[in-house]
Amino acid sequence: MFSIKMYLTQSNQPTEQDAQIRKSQETLTRIGNQLLSKSKSIAAAAAIDKRAGGDLLSVLVRANMATDLPESQRLSDRDVIART
């Protein structure tokens, strides 16, 4: 995964491009978190109906919310977003 911090430490002075990259990454993270939150709400409201939502995000959310999945094996929200 691309890391802004790693990129910035390679150059001595932040550039305008660095600011644009950071802003874009913040926007993607915000939108990803919104989508994840909505997907979790839908999955919970539908009582995790196995037929509902065939997109990757829905499948990951349903799998991650499975009651028989130990907490240690669940993906963090950040990991779910990174994989979609």
Among 65, 84, 29, 44, smallest CA distance to 73 is for 65
pTM for this structure? 0.57
57 domain-assigned: yes
Q: Is the dihedral of CA 16, 22, 24, 27 positive or negative?
A: negative
Residues of the domain holding 63: 18-82
In tens, the pLDDT along 64-75 reads 888 898 999 999
Residue type, 4: I
> Three-state SS string across 38-70, please?
HHHHHHHHCCCCCCCCCCHHHHHHHHHCCCCCC
40 domain-assigned: yes
13 domain-assigned: no
7 domain-assigned: no
Number of domains in the chain: 1
In tens, the pLDDT along 30-81 reads 999 998 888 887 776 665 555 666 678 888 888 888 889 899 999 998 888 8
